[in-house]
């Protein structure tokens, strides 16, 4: 069984604000090529996460809520791009710059 890094970040705010803060924090891990390169280098393929509540004894994920307001207990997941995917995205971005494609 592999070891897992568990990070507990207290978010003392409303549920909606905690959801938004969680998305912003997770964006720091997943948005930049540099982070993906570092994560690849140390062997990280995916990041599993959930937003929980201290009063909830069940491991609910408040980031996954259905139309009735019910949460589930499945973790959310970020797949870390492989080096080949990162290199392909960088080549495509460079190609777009070279031919001056309009930004959407």
Give 52 or 28, the one with higher predicted confidence. Answer: 52
pLDDT at 103: 57
Q: Could you tell me the two tokens for 97?
A: 């710059």
Q: Could you tell me the two tokens for 65?
A: 């809520």
pLDDT tens for residues 65-103? 888 888 888 888 887 777 776 676 777 677 666 666 555
CA nearest neighbour of 39 among 85, 8, 94: 85
Task: Decide if pLDDT at 42 tops 60.
Answer: yes
Domain ranges across the chain: 15-98
pLDDT at 97: 67
Taking residue 4's Cβ as centre, other Cβ atoms within 10 Å add up to 6
CA nearest neighbour of 96 among 1, 53, 104: 104
pLDDT at 81: 74
Whether 75 and 49 have beta carbons less than 8 Å apart is answered as yes
pLDDT at 96: 64
- Helix, strand, or coil here: 76? strand
Numbers of helices and strands, H then E, in the chain: 3, 4
- From first CA to last CA, the distance across the chain in angstroms is 44
């Amino acid at each position: 069984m592999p070891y897992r890094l568990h990070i507990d970040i207290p978010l003392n705010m409303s549920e909606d604000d905690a959801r938004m803060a969680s998305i912003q924090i997770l964006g720091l891990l997943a948005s930049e090529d540099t982070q993906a390169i570092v994560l690849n280098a140390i062997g990280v393929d995916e990041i599993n996460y959930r937003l929980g509540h201290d009063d909830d004894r069940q491991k609910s994920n408040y980031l996954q809520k259905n139309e009735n307001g019910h949460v589930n207990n499945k973790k959310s997941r970020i797949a870390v791009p492989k080096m080949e995917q990162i290199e392909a995205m960088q080549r495509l971005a460079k190609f777009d710059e070279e031919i001056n494609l309009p930004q959407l």
